[in-house]
Amino acid sequence: MSEATTTTVADAVADALARVDLDALRRTYRDQSEFVYLERWLPAPLVARMVAEVERVRPAINRNYIPRHKKGGSVSFHTLVEQAPTILALYRAPAFIAFLESVTGARLQPCPPSDPHACALYFYTEPGDHIGFHFDTSYYRGARYTVLVGIVERSSSRLVCQLHKRDPARRPVELALATHPGTFILFNGDTLWHAITPLGENEERVSLTLEYVTDPSMHPVKRLFSNLKDAVAYFGFRAVFRRAARA
């Protein structure tokens, strides 16, 4: 990763952070059972660089279809690490990680480089592409937090979130969000029940997810289960198991 890219991303993050009321964001995050979003938050020049990287990695999309659960395409961390320096610089930016720690109250680090989900792009490009309700369950020994960034939004699809799903003391609240370019969403994967509604004709939606963990270790049985799920549902067997063998 070039020093110029790292500096550009660090400047963009500083610019975004200057526009945030951190105390208010922390409160909202807690009040919403570990979920928060900032609409069109990341600066446009940074988003433009990420859109260019989305176009560059398009030939590497792996499409999957699991009846009644998901249909769509993905590009894994392994491809992004080679072809998407801006996205990688954002994923690893120390000021960005410190900001996430400050909002969540957890000590965070990027996922191990063997994890294809560490940071990944999700492409909704064909009518009906969607993902059903799920948690971003952590197979790590610690908690896992998801950052979702809107990159391309030319769709009627919505990110539907049910807040307080695991808090019996609170009434569930449902949000349906468009993920416009630069929109930032942060949540604890084990607490937010969420889905993406089906894409319409001639629409497109591309989102980026960045995953952070409190403890990067994983029980070997959970590692195998996690690899199988990634191979079937996201990135393909060759990509997942060849990389896992190398790791």
For residues 230 and 201, give the distance between their C-alpha atoms in angstroms, rounded to a whole number.
27
CA distance 168 to 220: 33
Query: Could you say whether residue 153 binds Fe ion (CB under 5 A)?
Result: no
Closer to Fe ion by CB, 6 or 146: give it. Answer: 146
Q: Give the shortest CB-211-to-Fe ion separation in angstroms.
A: 10
Applying CB under 5 A, among 136, 153, 211, 230 the residue interacting with Fe ion is 136
- State in angstroms the smallest separation of the CB of 137 from Fe ion: 9
- Tell me the sheet residues that pair with 193: 162
Structural contact between residues 99 and 17, judged by C-beta atoms closer than 8 angstroms: yes
Q: Which residues contact 11 (CB under 8 A, 6 or more apart)?
A: none
Segment contacting Fe ion by CB under 5 A, of 40-48, 89-97, 132-140, 220-228 = 132-140
Q: Which is nearer to Fe ion, 161 or 218 (CB)?
A: 161
Nearest to 167 by CA among 193, 146, 141: 193
How many residues in the shown chain lie near Fe ion by CB under 5 A?
Answer: 1
Q: How far apart are CA 164 and CA 245, in angstroms?
A: 39
Residue whose CB is nearest to Fe ion in the complex, by number: 136
Tell me the CA distances in angstroms from 128 to 58, 59, 75, 133, one per residue in order.
Answer: 19, 21, 19, 15
Minimal distance, residue 196 CB to Fe ion, in Å: 8
Pairing of strands 193-196, 173-177: unpaired
Q: How far is the CB of 194 from Fe ion (least distance, A)?
A: 6
The nearest distance, CB 69 to Fe ion, in angstroms, is 12
Residues near Fe ion (CB under 5 A) are 136
